[in-house]
Amino acid sequence: MARKKTQKKPEARIVRRKLPPLELRRLEDQVVLITGGNRGIGLAMARAVAKEGASVIITGRDEHTLHHAADQIKRDGGTVVSHVCDVRDEDSVDELFAAIHRHYSQIDVLVNNAGLAQRNAQVDHLSLEAWQACIETNLTGAFLCTRAALPMMSPGATVVNNVSVAANTAFPGMAAYSASKAGLLAFTNTLREELRPRGIRVISLVPGATDTEIWQQFWKDAPREKMMSAESVADAVVAALCLPANATIEELLIRPTAGTL
């Protein structure tokens, strides 16, 4: 009788399966406070750092857009809380930081981003109100938030101040905005030297023309299609925040590649 052919079992092979690359969330567990985080560059930065694993606190004056922004970040899987705060108002800033204190023991990154421009007006037609709005928001606001945040910041923390190319370039009709941003740049440079011994990094973010609603305030027909996106600015900030602790970008100048603005 013919013997039944036994089929030889294939030798068990060890298959070395490549594991998917570990998804690095480079700002995991960091607490990042972004003023003016409800739209524009602030919101783009909030979404970008949340994607990297940060717990984000966003502020702004308008409650409706603030909630909308927070919902967007949550839908992307991010961790966010929002708080209404007018950076010009010391009491409002104190309330914000009292609320932060109740939930967090430290702030790893403060982004002083809240800002406004002015109606295009040469100095002889510039109202005191417009002048004060720029100085109080763009300069005093950054001072009040920085002073309140510093007790919660340790070595390795970072302050990012959103300056503007207007700090160094003269745009006729924009004296209040330019003066506020030049003041912010001087404030930032001084702060950096004060905080250097404490190991806290201070970055001047200096964006050129970026496609946001701020342009409605002074140049309604600006060619926004030629500008950078807020997301490009946000990507550059994330890259700067993710540098090894022993190095820092002190001035982050970012401009549209082909634009003249």
Ligand X SMILES: NC(=O)c1ccc[n+]([C@@H]2O[C@H](COP(=O)([O-])OP(=O)(O)OC[C@H]3O[C@@H](n4cnc5c(N)ncnc54)[C@H](OP(=O)(O)O)[C@@H]3O)[C@@H](O)[C@H]2O)c1
Instruction: Report, in Å, the least distance between residue 175 CB and ligand X.
Output: 15
Measure the CA–CA gap between 243 and 158, rounded to whole angstroms: 11
Measure the CA–CA gap between 25 and 131, rounded to whole angstroms: 42
Residues 148-187 that bind ligand X (CB under 6 A): 162, 164
- CB of 157 or CB of 205, closer to ligand X: 205
Active-site annotation holds for 177: yes
Q: Which stretch binds ligand X (CB under 6 A): 16-24, 55-63, 103-111, 192-200?
A: 55-63
- CB of 55 or CB of 161, closer to ligand X: 161
At 136 the three-state DSSP class reads helix
Residue ranges of alpha helices (H) inside the chain are: 40-51, 63-75, 90-103, 128-134, 141-149, 175-195, 230-241
Q: Is the sign of the CA dihedral 207, 224, 120, 61 positive or negative?
A: negative
User: At which residue do the structure tokens 């590649």 appear?
Assistant: 257
How far is CA 256 from its chain centroid? 18
Q: Which stretch binds ligand X (CB under 6 A): 72-80, 134-142, 151-159, 238-246?
A: 134-142
The only residue of 212, 236, 241, 249 in contact with ligand X, by rule CB under 6 A: 212
Which one from 131, 177, 187, 215 is the annotated catalytic residue? 177
Give contact residues for ligand X (rule: CB under 6 A).
Answer: 35-36, 38-42, 60-62, 65, 85-88, 113-116, 137-138, 141, 162, 164, 207, 209-210, 212-214
